């Protein structure tokens, strides 16, 4: 295949982690006989510096014309970065929201599974002894609180701010179908997470989930309130197969799911539209505190590249080659800094701490 990939390296650790993902991709393409053309696209702070806005129309068009988009991370430290002195609609994060909306990327898939090699890094003590989990969060990505009307004004002498949470049944139905289709290829269980005891939008969410479920007799549907889901994720994550939820709940629960895999540096993601076109990015942020130090964990971005091969290009074997190389790298004892066990003498663990680029090398050489 000849692949045309738009690359948004972004800010903070973005350029470092994307470099490693490309290193691994190039190894896969060489081994399986594919060729790729990468086109760099500016977004976030990098785009503010160069163009004055977090995302230009031209950048959107470049992404639209590509076969898929691979992204690092965007944003800086709000306490020190000049980007955050701008109007909120001109901040780095606005670029990310704009591209998700412009490309119609409503289904955000965030798989969280525990590599047995990382069981000791999992903060849940119960994981030791072989119990594992393998779940995927399907987060609605272009609706809800993120895209509702918002304002701040002074009413009766005090500042008042408002954000609105709106969903149409069409928006709910399409992401629900994505969740059911995925469940079909997994264990056949969808858990829809909402706050239907309080919110109208959640009651509609639940009703549409039931309607969609009627078309999938082979998939079971359960419902859970979001506060309980947050608790169940740390108590008993193996109960989940596919979790489908609205934008903001999914943002929060996916960070929680990421952390129980050992580190937020492990969680990949795919954001898809109805044609299968996708943007692939780690679920973590730009970590400005460690940017440029070559200590970031590139695995989430490398695994996002694997998702790109699987979901946008249908290259299953190639995707598995990456996932197996990551697993082998871990089982051979290599760890990025975030994955080194804390409070223990590293010499006694038999593990080897690796820089970001070394971690990329270790994965690439195992392809
Ligand atoms: C994520 C991030 C973004 C989000 C931010 C950077 C706007 O937290 O992708 O989870 O909230 O969607
Ligand atoms: Mg988030």
Residue 238 shares a structural domain with residue 272: no
Using CA positions, which residue lies closest to atom 10 of ligand 1?
Answer: 251
Residue 117 lies in a domain: no
Distance 284 CA to ligand 2 centre (A): 7
Structurally, how many domains does the chain consist of?
Answer: 2
Residue 138 shares a structural domain with residue 85: no
Distance CA 114, CA 181 (A): 23
Using CA positions, which residue lies closest to atom 9 of ligand 1?
Answer: 283
Q: Which atom of ligand 1 is nearest to the CA of 108?
A: 9
**What residues contact residue 142 under an 8 Å CB cut-off, 6+ apart?**
100, 101, 104, 105, 106, 171, 247
- Answer with the one of 259, 279, 304 that is the final residue of a domain: 259
- Answer with the one of 209, 232, 259 that is the final residue of a domain: 259
Question: What is the structure's pLDDT at 346?
Answer: 59
Q: Could you say which DSSP state residue 265 is in? A: G
Residue 187 lies in a domain: yes
Asked if 222 contacts 189 with a C-beta cutoff of 8 angstroms, the reply is yes
| Bridge partners of residue 189, in order along the sequence | 220
Distance CA 283, CA 268 (A): 6
Give the pTM.
Answer: 0.94
CATH code of the domain containing 274: 3.40.718.10
Q: Which atom of ligand 1 is nearest to the CA of 100?
A: 12
Distance 77 CA to ligand 1 centre (A): 14
Q: What is the pLDDT of residues 33-51, one digit of tens each?
A: 999 999 999 999 999 999 9
- Check the CA dihedral 294-309-249-260 and report its sign: negative
Residue 366 shares a structural domain with residue 296: yes
> For a substitution probing ligand 1, which of 88, 105, 249, 251 has the most ligand atoms within 8 Å of its CB?
251
Using CA positions, which residue lies closest to atom 4 of ligand 1?
Answer: 251
Residue 140 shares a structural domain with residue 240: yes
> What three-state secondary structure class fits 71?
strand
User: What residues are annotated to the active site?
Assistant: 146, 195, 227, 251, 255
Question: What is the structure's pLDDT at 217?
Answer: 98
Question: What is the structure's pLDDT at 166?
Answer: 98
Residue 277 shares a structural domain with residue 250: no
Asked if 194 contacts 226 with a C-beta cutoff of 8 angstroms, the reply is yes
Is 130 exposed, middle or buried, given 0-12, 13-18 or 19+ CB atoms closer than 10 A? exposed
> For a substitution probing ligand 1, which of 78, 146, 285, 301 has the most ligand atoms within 8 Å of its CB?
285
Q: What is the pLDDT of residues 156-192, one digit of tens each?
A: 999 999 999 999 999 999 999 999 999 999 999 999 9
User: Residue 16: enclosing H or E segment and its boundaries?
Assistant: helix 14-32
Q: Which atom of ligand 1 is nearest to the CA of 75?
A: 6
Domain that holds residue 168: 134-259
Residue 41 shares a structural domain with residue 91: yes
> For a substitution probing ligand 1, which of 69, 93, 141, 300 has the most ligand atoms within 8 Å of its CB?
93
| Bridge partners of residue 2, in order along the sequence | 35
Q: Which atom of ligand 1 is nearest to the CA of 251?
A: 10
Residue 316 shares a structural domain with residue 253: no
Residue 275 lies in a domain: yes
Distance 251 CA to ligand 1 centre (A): 7
**DSSP of 203-219:** HHHHHHHHHHHHT-TTS
Question: What is the structure's pLDDT at 119?
Answer: 79
**What residues contact residue 334 under an 8 Å CB cut-off, 6+ apart?**
351, 352, 354, 358, 359, 362
Asked if 11 contacts 45 with a C-beta cutoff of 8 angstroms, the reply is yes
Which tokens hold the place of 265?
């540096």
Which tokens hold the place of 340?
């080194």
The environment of the single-atom ion ligand 2, i.e. residues with CB closer than 5 A, is: 251
3-state helix, strand, coil in the chain (%, to 5): 45, 20, 30
Distance 332 CA to ligand 2 centre (A): 30
Residue 139 shares a structural domain with residue 248: yes
- Token look-up 């079909």 returns 184
Asked if 35 contacts 29 with a C-beta cutoff of 8 angstroms, the reply is yes
| Bridge partners of residue 160, in order along the sequence | 153
Distance CA 76, CA 13 (A): 10
Residue 41 shares a structural domain with residue 75: yes
Question: What is the structure's pLDDT at 343?
Answer: 65
Residue 56 lies in a domain: yes
Stretches where the chain sits below pLDDT 70 are: 125-131, 343-348
Ligand nearest to the CA of 282: 1
The pocket around ligand 1, CB under 6 angstroms, is made up of: 75, 93, 96, 251, 283
Residue 32 lies in a domain: yes
Which tokens hold the place of 51?
């163009």
Closest of 337, 272, 281 to residue 96, by C-alpha: 281
Residue 125 lies in a domain: no
Using CA positions, which residue lies closest to atom 5 of ligand 1?
Answer: 93
Question: What is the structure's pLDDT at 126?
Answer: 52
> What three-state secondary structure class fits 249?
helix
For 10, 167, 312, the CA distances from 73, given in Å and listed in that order, are: 5, 27, 20
Distance CA 234, CA 105 (A): 29
Distance CA 314, CA 138 (A): 19
């Amino acid at each position: 295949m000849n692949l045309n990939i738009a690359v948004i390296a972004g800010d903070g650790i973005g350029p470092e982690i994307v470099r490693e993902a490309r290193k691994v991709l190039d190894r896969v393409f060489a081994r399986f006989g594919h060729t790729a053309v990468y086109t760099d696209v500016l977004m976030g702070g990098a785009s503010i510096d160069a163009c004055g806005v977090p995302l230009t129309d031209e950048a959107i068009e470049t992404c639209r014309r590509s076969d898929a988009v691979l992204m690092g991370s965007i944003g800086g430290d709000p306490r020190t970065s000049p980007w955050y002195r701008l109007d909120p609609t001109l901040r780095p994060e606005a670029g990310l929201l704009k591209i998700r909306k412009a490309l119609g990327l409503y289904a955000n898939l965030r798989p969280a599974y525990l590599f047995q090699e990382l069981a000791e890094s999992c903060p849940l003590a119960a994981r030791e002894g072989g119990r594992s989990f393998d779940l995927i969060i399907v987060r609605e990505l272009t609706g809800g609180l993120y895209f509702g009307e918002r304002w701040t004004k002074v009413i009766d002498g005090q500042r008042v701010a408002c954000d609105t949470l709106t969903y149409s049944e069409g928006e709910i139905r399409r992401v629900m179908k994505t969740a059911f289709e995925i469940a079909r290829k997994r264990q056949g269980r969808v858990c829809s997470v909402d706050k239907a005891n309080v919110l109208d939008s959640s009651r509609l969410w639940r009703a549409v989930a039931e309607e969609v479920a009627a078309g999938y007799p082979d998939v079971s549907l359960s419902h859970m309130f979001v506060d309980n889901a947050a608790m169940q994720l740390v108590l008993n994550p193996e109960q989940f197969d596919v979790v489908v939820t609205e934008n903001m709940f999914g943002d929060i629960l996916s960070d929680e799911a990421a952390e129980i895999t050992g580190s937020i540096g492990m969680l990949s993601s795919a954001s898809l539209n109805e044609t299968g076109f996708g943007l692939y990015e780690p679920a973590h942020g730009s970590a400005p505190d460690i940017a440029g130090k070559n200590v970031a964990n590139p695995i989430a971005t490398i695994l996002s590249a694997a998702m790109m091969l699987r979901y946008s290009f249908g290259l299953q074997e190639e995707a598995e080659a990456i996932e197996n190389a990551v697993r082998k790298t871990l089982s051979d004892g290599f760890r990025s800094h975030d994955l080194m066990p804390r409070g223990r003498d590293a010499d006694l663990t038999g593990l080897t701490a690796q820089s970001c680029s070394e971690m990329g090398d270790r994965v690439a050489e195992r392809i």
